[in-house]
Amino acid sequence: MQKELTDIELINLVLAGNQSAYANLVKRHQRYAFTLALRFTKSREDAEEIAQDGFVKAYKSLSAFQQQSKFTTWLYSIVYTTAMTFLRKKQLKTDSMNDDAVFTQVNLLASDLKPDSTEQKSRLYYVNLAIGQLLPDDATIITLFYQGEQSLEEIAQVIGMETNTVKVKLHRARHRLKEKLEGLLKQEVRELL
């Protein structure tokens, strides 16, 4: 069986002129980049645009990648910056979830996605929903830590903060996520009763 090339090997191939090797890198990391972008915008189209833009920017500055950190850490920092720029340009609303209007929006979203099957009713569905209700920064840290498998130092590098700040933010983000989750589950129990 052919050995799967590492990220660094693929990058070296791309730098040697093999453009199609980059497609393998994109395929490998597209879900992570897309999920991260989706933490900033609720629209899948916008998230795709951000993630694609991130990959194109990464390709253009691939020769500047020092290979001192993981490729994913570097890629996520590009996607994060692209998403922030996108938000600034679009002036998307990133209000606190305490805002009534946003609550209404989330409730509408929740009712749109009313689970039909048992699988959808699983706890994971509610965890995903609760992450969607967090502020972009909290959702990003949670995503990078649990889904992107990034260490605190790497997350700090991605979002340009001190490691200790990220640690505190991670604790707070988890706390808020737990609260949101409990709220959603209580609501679900009330509906069932």
Partner 1 sequence: MNEIEEHLWNYIDGFCTEDERKTIETLIENNANYRNKYAELKAFEANMPALDLEEPSMGFTFKVMENIRAEHARVPLKTRINTSIVRAIGAFFICTILVLLGFVFVNVDWSAPSPVHLPEIKIPPVTNYLNPVVIKGFLFFDVVLGMFFLDYYFRKFFIRQK
The number of beta carbons lying within 10 Å of the beta carbon of residue 87 is 17
Q: Nearer Cβ to partner 1, position 19 or 68? A: 19
Q: Nearer Cβ to partner 1, position 90 or 123? A: 123
Report in angstroms how near the CB of residue 98 gets to partner 1 at its nearest.
Answer: 17
Q: Which residues bind partner 1 (CB under 8 A)?
A: 19-20, 22-23, 26-27, 30-32, 34-35, 38, 44, 47-48, 51-52, 55-56, 59-60, 123-124, 127-128, 131, 142, 146-147, 152, 167, 170-172, 174-175, 178, 181
**By CB neighbour count within 10 A (0-12 exposed, 13-18 middle, 19+ buried), where does 20 fall?**
exposed
- Residue 146 DSSP code: I
Q: Nearer Cβ to partner 1, position 49 or 110? A: 49
Q: Nearer Cβ to partner 1, position 106 or 170? A: 170
**In 5-99, which residue ranges form alpha helices assigned H by DSSP?**
7-15, 20-38, 44-60, 71-90
What b-and-e string marks burial along 21-47, b requiring 16 or more CB atoms within 10 Å of the CB? bbebbbeebeebbbbbbbbbbeeeebb
Q: 182, 59, 49, 191: which is closest to 127 by C-alpha?
A: 182
Report in angstroms how near the CB of residue 122 gets to partner 1 at its nearest.
Answer: 9
C-alpha 173, offset from chain centre: 14
Q: Nearer Cβ to partner 1, position 119 or 191? A: 119
Report in angstroms how near the CB of residue 30 gets to partner 1 at its nearest.
Answer: 5
Report in angstroms how near the CB of residue 128 gets to partner 1 at its nearest.
Answer: 7
Report in angstroms how near the CB of residue 18 gets to partner 1 at its nearest.
Answer: 12
